[in-house]
Structure formats: C-alpha cells, structure tokens
Homo-oligomer: A and B are copies of this chain.
C-alpha cells in the first residue's frame, strides 16, 4: 500500500484547543520525514466540510484528535477505507468520554485508539502502518 516516498498522513483536530497534541504528532512525523497535513474540522459542526475533505484527500492514514463526544475518528472511518487513528483528549472526565466514544465502534468501522492526549503515539502508529520505522 504505502511506498516510503508517498506515505502521507492527514491530521484532523476536532477543535483548535487540540493543537498542542497535534503538534506532538507533527514533530514525530517531521523527524521521520513523513508528509502530513493538519486541519481543524469538527465532525459535529462541519460535517459537510469533513466529508469533502475526506473525499478529496490522498492521505494513507488519518489521525483524528478529539475530546468529549469524540465522533471525529468514527465519522472519518465511515467515509474512507484508509486506517484511522484516534487520539482521545482529556477535556472532561479525565478523557474517558473521548476514549469510549472512539474505541467502542461498531463492527466494520474500526478506529485505532491510542492513549489519552498521546499525539506522539498516534504518529508512531502511523509510521508503523506506513512502514517508515
């Protein structure tokens, strides 16, 4: 699937407040010279923009960063066949709401959930998927 030269990661934050975690992911990707793109698109507030972005995207892996009712990675996974990695953010309840919203997906639409606020591990998982480690 992924050629070392073409592997590309699309990072989507649900909110501007998730920026710091996105930057943790970006740093890891840059260290490994992986192409990436960062967007802020809310699954709930911008569903149409999200759909269009996914449809046009040539990313090989998606990283979705979101807190609370974190529907973002699931919404992406239901519109692409690429692997989708979810990073639950601690906004309330120590992040448990985001963990469960991401992880407990119905069969057929998987989200690869990593640890709470752990943007780095989302990037490291993307690297493994792209064969870049």
A residues sitting closer than 8 Å to B (CB atoms) are 1-4, 6-7, 14-15, 42-45, 47, 60, 68-69, 71, 74-75, 77-79, 81-85, 90, 92-97, 99-118, 120-122, 124-125, 128-131, 133
Contact = CB atoms under 8 A, between A and B. Distances in A.
Contact of A68 (B75, B108, B115, B131): B115
Interface of A is mostly: loop
Contacts of A107: 118, 120-121, 124
A65 to B, nearest CB: 14
A94 B85 CA distance: 24
A48 to B, nearest CB: 9
B115 A45 contact: no
